[in-house]
Chains A and B, each alone.
Chain A
Amino acid sequence: MDELIVSLSRWQFALTTIYHFFFVPLTLGLSVLVAIMETQYVKTGDLIYKNMTKFWGKLFVINFAMGVVTGLVQEFQFGMNWSEYSRYVGDIFGAPLAIEALLAFFLESTFLGIWIFGWDKLSKKMHLISIWLVAFGSSVSAFWILVANSFMQAPMGFVEENGRLVMNDFWALVTNPNVWVQFPHTIFSGFTTGAMFVIGISGYHLYKNQNNEFFTKSFRLASLFGILSILLVILIGHSQGQQMIKTQPMKMASAEALWNSEDPASFSLISIVNEKEKKDIFSFRIPRILSLLSYNQFSGKVEGINQLQDYYAEKYGSGNYIPPISVTYWAFRAMVGSGFLIFFIIALILFFVLRNKDIFKFSWSRFIPFAITLPYIANSSGWILTEMGRQPWVVFGYLKTADAVTPNLTVGMILTSLIGFGLVYTGLMVADIYLLAKFSKGPIFQEEAEESEISYWESEI
């Protein structure tokens, strides 16, 4: 298979997927936060919660639209660029995608439409249920797409028949241990993203001393929600690492730049490697810590890149089974680093919030909005680690990425689509950020009383 075709297709898949995943986590998190705000409104009748629901809801809708349309590309792309993959695993992989559409996409899209347009057409309760269904639908969608992805990481529930993989146990697909670490890790990362988003924008206003009550309430809610979410992300991320050691030891070895097996194994604090000659240029490692992370004890063997390469070459035939080490190594660090940074920032904020102290009298608090970028870095680098660390496989142990590509593609075709998506996506990103910035700055619609109700959406038109 032509190498250029493979790499162009990979670039296209990577760029469109990372782009898509800029919007998904915020949808996951913000939908729940908006639903909590509206719940407060319905419970207390306090209009400030209604205004909060509408303010954050508007930002949610702008973001949601981008997630939906870029998601279309994902479903089409498996067939367009990866037809051999689709033929080989379609029997298994197609099912969760179809189920995702049927169970999640219909729910999300229908009830979001009802929610946006239904403020004065539905009872308060029904309107509230709509946003909860949107939030629920988003999480259901995450579940099924991760069932599909987990199959690629740790294939289960199938047999090989006539050169194709055929499902023989749907239950095994759904109960794949990989799903049950990957799904909560992703969901809570999404929740963290939503929390950081609300914290950042509220922080911007609070620092400028604007709309104090409105944003203080948002800020407090988001920091509580955020601390729980990021704690769960970190805890589950730890289990995920232990799962990875079992199913994809090469991913762990390369994320740690561990050339040779060690027992007890050391954790790399910083390594600069020469990938070609398979050696460190510079490395500083902390003894025993990788064993600790892998097995919750200070000893235990972690396989190294060289040993795994030999093992795979024997098992699957000669070839290079080492993923790009610098990419996985730094992606891992970017993910974990920004994850912990988020944790410390939210913990610090909460320290002030819980004691009712004003954090915004400190001048450094004006940097809080910049922390919004952290979850985006963590989300993207997490997926880069997950997907790049699996290379050269697309379905671990069964199908290599190079064998998955569509055979009748030409370089011209892929360049056309790659450049086309690139241009359109860039343009949309500019428009999206423009609108998000515009509506983040306000105005905050102040609804005075139920009688004079004017829908928020029209307030500034």
Chain B
Amino acid sequence: MTLNTIWFLLIAVLFIGYFILEGFDFGVGILLPFVGKNDTERRMMINTIGPHWDGNEVWLITAGGAMFAAFPQWYATLFSGFYLVLFLMLIALIIRGVAFEFRSKDENPKWRTFWDWVIFIGSFIPAFLWGVALTNFIRGVPIDANFHFIGNFWNLISGYSLIGGLVSLTGFTLQGAIFLSLKLEEQFAIRINKIARKLWIPNIIAVFLFAIETYFLTDILDRLGVNPGFVPIAAVLSLLTVGWLVYQNYNGWAFFINCLAILFSTTTIFMILYPRVLVSSIDKNLSLTIINSASSPYTLKVMSIIALIFLPFVLGYQIWAYWVFRKRITSNKESLHY
């Protein structure tokens, strides 16, 4: 396996980690104003992700950095081409992160309600936009022979990419609900489980529509064949299983399998892409690939060594952080930070 392929895989892994982790962060944020009936409940909900959301977001920062270091042409074309989408995403992530820290630092109910809605908006927008962005990866965007994006904002918005947005939006919301049902005290968790049952339905519908459109609008057939193989099938199967598990109230298993669903479906997107990183809608031959967008072999080698040394530590202490805060959040005010 070449270093180019390894870095493609690593970036895919970073995105998968990001979607799984920040997926439930987003979900919690989206559900916050609707599910939290009073201030205590909302604080409990935020506290489930309190120690983690910032570390989870670093998965995205690292993915961006890895993209810049390993495939600078991909980074340059993607970030400049998706300018307004990323601008919206940034604004959302900024106000959301600040809102977590600010909302409980003043008792005024108006202040708190305001920041709760900021958390909602700041979670809703990225949850939706990630689907839009990834759909455009595989659908293709106007890229010319100099790797320049020559379209505009509206090239990124289509029925297909909006469905893609709904997939990630509903998927992350579901992920958040299942996470909450694991992390909140029993009575509250039961209520959340009922909500998760409802959320599963729009998610599976969106995924179903998205899968059909993918067959018509991308070159998935050339890539993966009529029988797409294990991964995409596993993605669909795990999502179906999640529904059953949620209805049976097996929330631990539901969370595990839903993480797998995110893993398999994100992997499917990256499998359709490979060895390209951004498909050109003008001419498939103009697509950015892991070869023509890559850094020099020397840079890739240096970065590989550094990643190999430090990634295990990062994984180790992040897992440890989840272990430290493994207990369910109770309504005991003394244990609430946010």
Residues of A within 8 A of B (CB): 61-62, 64-66, 68-70, 72-73, 75-76, 78-81, 83-84, 86-87, 89-95, 97-103, 105-107, 109-114, 116-118, 120-122, 161, 166-168, 170, 406-410, 413, 416-417, 420-421, 424, 428, 431-432, 435, 438-439, 454-455, 457-458, 460-461
Known: A102-B306, A114-B324, A417-B87. A72 touches B75 (CB 8 A): no
Do residues B314 and A106 form an inter-chain contact, with CB atoms below 8 A? Answer: yes
Residue B26 interfacial (CB < 8 Å)? no
With contact pairs A408-B148, A458-B336 given, residues A113 and B52 touching in the complex (Cβ less than 8 Å): yes
Residues B80 and A409 in contact, CB atoms below 8 Å apart? yes
Q: How far is the CA of A111 from the CA of B303 in the complex (A)?
A: 24
If the complex has contacts A80-B83, A98-B65, are A113 and B54 also in contact, measured as CB distance less than 8 A? Answer: yes
Chain B positions 148-168 with a Cβ under 8 Å from a chain A Cβ: 148-150, 152-153
Chain A residues contacting B222 (CB-CB under 8 Å) are none
- Selected A-B contacts with CB under 8 Å, 27 pairs: A62-B102, A72-B57, A75-B68, A76-B86, A83-B77, A89-B72, A90-B72, A91-B295, A93-B68, A98-B66, A101-B61, A102-B307, A110-B54, A110-B58, A110-B321, A111-B317, A113-B51, A120-B335, A122-B324, A166-B296, A168-B298, A408-B81, A410-B152, A424-B91, A431-B98, A438-B106, A461-B104
Residues on A with beta carbons closer than 8 Å to the beta carbon of B50: 113, 116-117
Contacts of A122 in B (CB 8 A): 324
Closest CB of chain A to B288's CB: distance in Å? 11
B299–A80 touching, CB < 8 Å? no
Given contacts A102-B62, A102-B311, A109-B55, contact A408 B336 (CB under 8 A): no
By beta carbon, the residue of chain B nearest A407 is B148
A460 to chain B, nearest CB (A): 8
B residues within 8 Å of A by Cβ? Answer: 47, 50-55, 57-58, 61-62, 64-70, 72-73, 75-81, 83-84, 86-87, 90-91, 93-98, 100-102, 104-107, 147-150, 152-153, 295-296, 298-299, 302-303, 306-307, 310-311, 314, 317-318, 321, 324-325, 333-337
B337 & A457 in contact (Cβ 8 Å cutoff): yes
Hey, which chain A residues are within 8 Å of B87, CB to CB?
A: 80, 416-417, 420
Known: A102-B62, A435-B102. A116 touches B302 (CB 8 A): no
Contact (Cβ within 8 A) A90 B69: yes
Give the contacting residue for B68; candidates A66, A79, A410; CB below 8 A.
A79
B106 and A79 contact, CB distance less than 8 A: no
Q: Are A69 and B94 in contact (CB under 8 A)?
A: yes
| A97 contacts across to B, CB distance below 8 A | 65, 68-69
Residue among B62, B96, B302 making CB contact with A95, cutoff 8 Å: B302
Q: Which residues of B have CB within 8 Å of A87?
A: 72-73, 76, 147
Q: CB-CB < 8 A to A406: which residues of B?
A: 80, 83
Q: How far is the CA of A416 from the CA of B50 in the complex (A)?
A: 32
Distance between B106 CB and nearest chain A CB, rounded to angstroms: 7
B69 CB contact (under 8 Å) in A83, A94, A455: A94
How far in angstroms is the closest Cβ of chain A from B337? Answer: 5
Instruction: Give the shortest distance, in Å, between B276 (CB) and chain A (any CB).
Output: 18
Interchain CA distance A407-B247 in the complex, whole Å: 52
Contact B298 A75 (CB under 8 A): no
A71: min CB distance to chain B, Å: 8
Q: Which chain A residues lie closer than 8 Å to B94 at the CB level?
A: 69-70, 72-73, 424, 428
Q: Are A99 and B306 in contact, CB atoms less than 8 angstroms apart?
A: yes
B65 touches A114 (CB 8 A): no
Cβ contact within 8 Å between A117 and B298: no
Given A80-B80, A83-B77: A98 in contact with B69 (beta carbons within 8 A) = yes
A167-B123 Cα distance, complex, nearest whole Å: 38
By the criterion CB–CB under 8 Å, are A69 and B80 in contact?
no
Which B residues are CB-close (under 8 A) to A84? 76
- Minimum-distance CB pairs A-B, first 4: A90-B72, A79-B79, A94-B69, A94-B68
B338 to chain A, nearest CB (A): 9
Residue numbers in A under 8 Å from B150 (CB-CB): 408
Contact B296 A118 (CB under 8 A): no
Task: Return B56 CB to nearest CB of chain A, in Å.
Answer: 8
- A89 closest partner in B (C-beta): B72
CB <8 Å contact, A76 and B337 = no
In the complex the two chains form, what is the Cα distance from A122 to B317 in whole Å? 14
Q: A117-B50, A417-B84 are in contact. List 6 more A-B contacts (CB 8 A).
A: A69-B93, A69-B98, A92-B299, A107-B314, A121-B324, A167-B299
Residues in A with CB closer than 8 Å to B81 are 408
Query: Is there an interface contact between A167 and B101, defined as CB atoms closer than 8 Å?
Result: no
- Docked-complex contact B295 and A439, CB < 8 angstroms: no
Q: Contact at B61–A75, with CB atoms within 8 Å?
A: yes
The residue of chain A having its C-beta at the shortest distance from the C-beta of B60 within the complex is A72
Q: Are B299 and A65 in contact (CB under 8 A)?
A: no
